[in-house]
Chains A and B, each alone.
Chain A
């Protein structure tokens, strides 16, 4: 993993310290840190990290706003960088909101080192297509591929033919 750089954004100092320790063990070549979204965006612009791991709740700019800045600002240097959002919230509406903001993966706190390793390897090995539309720029929100459908195929015609 030494070829990859990662930006960790976390307001809580002890948590940031633990995260850096974990990522060092994982062997990342470059670990950048920030304690809020604004600082993180500047670092993203200057260092262009390969992966961003950010907490949700931060002051004054939180993880979701950071994600919006990266995905939707015209001068963002890498609009499709994988963003892993750490959150203690599990409420469905919040998760949906995060997905709609263009978050790549969500990691619910507390987590184990294994959980974090899996998320990182997932963004490396299973990169997602991006969708660009008038209201959205982010990873394709539909994860289920029709190729994986195993049920009966009841549609006999293409919609265009009917």
Chain B
């Protein structure tokens, strides 16, 4: 049965013909009682699980970087229709953005966020974008190899500036291309 059939079944079952509002209930609040909440102490203890995780995220990060390597190689071999692979391309970048900071490396999350914003904005996978992905992969690899986890060191700032410059060069080139 298709999803549409499923939906039609629901409409027939409940007699839905026009949109209807189902009032929210306080079922969850009623279950835990009127004053229960997640207290500050609990939040602080939970935050420690993020600040000092039991898991070494580095091998997982290296896996994501290897995925980027493979993708870039694959995309370079494609002459056309690269954009079909866009969704697959942004996955490792988004995973690093989302997870690195939760395993003690906010620097990698920040750099990944910049690259993700860039990819989401242009949605292109031309040769210059692939070069940016390669630069990003080197940047993250360097960060992990040299134990750079925060953005305040000179080394971190240099890496970050290199990424910014690469993105800015692409934007300038893109503008020139669209103007002519």
* A residues in contact (CB < 8 Å) with B: 1, 3-4, 12-15, 17-18, 21-22, 25-27, 50-51, 57, 68, 72-74, 80, 82, 86-91, 109-114, 116-117, 120-121, 123-125, 127-134, 136-137, 140
- The answer for the CA separation of A117 and B14 in the assembled complex, in Å, is 35
Of A72, A89, A130, the contact of B3 (CB 8 Å cutoff): A72
Chain B hits for A89, CB < 8 A: 94, 116, 120
A25–B46 contact, CB under 8 A? yes
B102–A109 contact, CB under 8 A? yes
Chain A hits for B57, CB < 8 A: 14
Chain B hits for A137, CB < 8 A: 10
Interface residues of B in 54-69 (CB under 8 A from A): 54-55, 57, 60
Interface residues of B in 17-59 (CB under 8 A from A): 18-29, 31-33, 36-38, 42-47, 49-50, 53-55, 57
Chain A hits for B24, CB < 8 A: 127-130
A50–B53 contact, CB under 8 A? no
| B149 on the A face (CB < 8 A) | no
Given A14-B99, A68-B3, A120-B38, A113-B50 contact (CB < 8 Å): yes
Given A14-B55, A88-B98, A112-B47, A74-B120 contact (CB < 8 Å): no
B54–A27 contact, CB under 8 A? no
The digit string for B81-121, where 1 denotes a CB below 8 A from any CB of A, is: 00000000001001101111111001001000000110010
**Can you list 24 A-B pairs, Cβ within 8 angstroms, ordered by A?**
A4-B28, A4-B31, A4-B32, A14-B55, A14-B60, A18-B49, A25-B43, A25-B45, A57-B94, A72-B6, A73-B3, A74-B9, A74-B13, A88-B94, A89-B94, A109-B102, A117-B38, A117-B42, A121-B37, A130-B24, A131-B19, A131-B21, A132-B16, A140-B21
A18–B31 contact, CB under 8 A? no
Given A112-B50, A117-B46, A57-B91 contact (CB < 8 Å): yes
- Count of A-B contacts judged by CB separation below 8 Å: 150
| B154 on the A face (CB < 8 A) | no
Chain A hits for B101, CB < 8 A: 110
A18–B38 contact, CB under 8 A? no
Chain A hits for B33, CB < 8 A: 3
A51–B16 contact, CB under 8 A? no
B47–A113 contact, CB under 8 A? yes
Chain B hits for A14, CB < 8 A: 53, 55, 57, 60, 99, 103
